[in-house]
Structure 1
């Protein structure tokens, strides 16, 4: 029987190490030179194998630093509206939130436009780290209008925000618009997410509306790229 191509041998070898836990999440892969020496192949062959592993979600690359082991990804649906806490509980995970900062500030032009308020109307800015089973998953920068939720700072902001707004202010999420783009973790976000600066992330901008059609929340989130797969069901 003909032997498998060298690049497939490399893939099978390292994917087995990752699947068995011998190479742990976040651990750095050996250098291209080391892998080439181990399998007696060129760097071109090594890069072909690493590119395939990255495409399959086993590793991720950081320019100038090397390749690192990814983790199992959390599936999140895009075709229904729910909060982070509900999503995590639905997957059997325990959600938690770390409040990093809260402030009463003037909105940026884009936030004022999204919330349909004047630039001189103050908003609450909340910076929160969302965790699942104690692992940092996302950094959220939440913008909500002061006039609608006065006194918000007096409440526990480490709980589900949607739950709090519904119970205390009678405001329930009805629909949302959302955009997703690829990005690289800033030093600030990387520190909170406990990942290397420059790690691939998903940058999500979301505006949420209540049943009266008025936007009540504008959120800029940075999700760990090694933790998420977003799914959507399309029907004709």
Structure 2
């Protein structure tokens, strides 16, 4: 830790501390997903009590630069996210949508496997005798924050080569450019659900959250 930092008179201490931390984040001293110094260390650095430090951290949390994990600490989230807006009037790529909104996209492949399609999936994909599909599960991330769990089902016969490809980019681009799929329309269904433990862990929220 640096030498004790002298705070100015006439300016709320917590604002000076949150301002200093934000400056360190913007300069790259603390990168996305880095853990900030503990309350004890910040209290020592700024010569203030822990309540003042908590107030400073809460200020950064409310502005979207930091997230708190109970019992673990405070972590940098990167630039705060504006509300994510989707247009339902055309088929688009998550990656393209994020870039258009100034958000840095990232994709983490969770699993990819060949399975037997359920009745619902088989009907929607209009499968014939071969009911094998490739299930791809990915976590879509914006500015270091988990946003979407994406599960895709592709007919095995037409898309078996995808099993040997890296799927950390745009699946939309892969389908349209590599496999020459002409996407005319899509059907999107939205509903509120209570998250399972596995999905909640991926999104960094409590099980049962909706």
Report which structure shows greater RCO (CA 8 Å, sep ≥6): 1
Partner of residue 115 from structure 2, selected from 105, 108, 111: 105
1:142 — aligned with what? 151
Partner of residue 24 from structure 1, selected from 31, 45, 53: 31
Counterpart CA distance in 2 for 1:162 and 1:51 is 38
| Structure with the bigger percentage of strand | 1
Partner of residue 87 from structure 2, selected from 63, 79, 88: 79
Q: Which structure would you say has the larger Rg?
A: 2
State the shift of 1:3 in Å: 0.9
Q: Unpaired segments of 5 or more residues in structure 1?
A: 191-197, 202-236
Counterpart CA distance in 2 for 1:23 and 1:176 is 39
State the shift of 1:52 in Å: 1.1
Query: With structure 2 as the length reference, what TM-score do the two structures score?
Result: 0.61
Counterpart CA distance in 1 for 2:17 and 2:123 is 49
Distance 1:173-1:140 versus aligned 2 partners, 3 A rule: farther
What aligned pairs does 1:6-155 form with structure 2 within 5 A after superposition?
A: 6-73=13-80, 76-80=84-88, 81-87=91-97, 90=100, 101-106=111-116, 112=121, 115=124, 122-128=132-138, 140-144=149-153, 146=155, 150-155=157-162
| Structure with the bigger percentage of helix | 2
How many matched pairs?
189
1:172 — aligned with what? 184
What aligned pairs does 1:191-206 form with structure 2 within 5 A after superposition?
A: 199=204
Counterpart CA distance in 1 for 2:35 and 2:100 is 32
Counterpart CA distance in 2 for 1:40 and 1:107 is 61
Deviations 1:132-175 (A, max 9, x none): 9xx897775423263xx732113475464334545645443434
Report the 3-state secondary structure (helix = DSSP H, G, I; strand = E; otherwise coil) of the residue aligned with 1:78. coil
Counterpart CA distance in 1 for 2:192 and 2:24 is 32
RMSD in angstroms over aligned alpha carbons? 4.8
Counterpart CA distance in 2 for 1:39 and 1:101 is 46
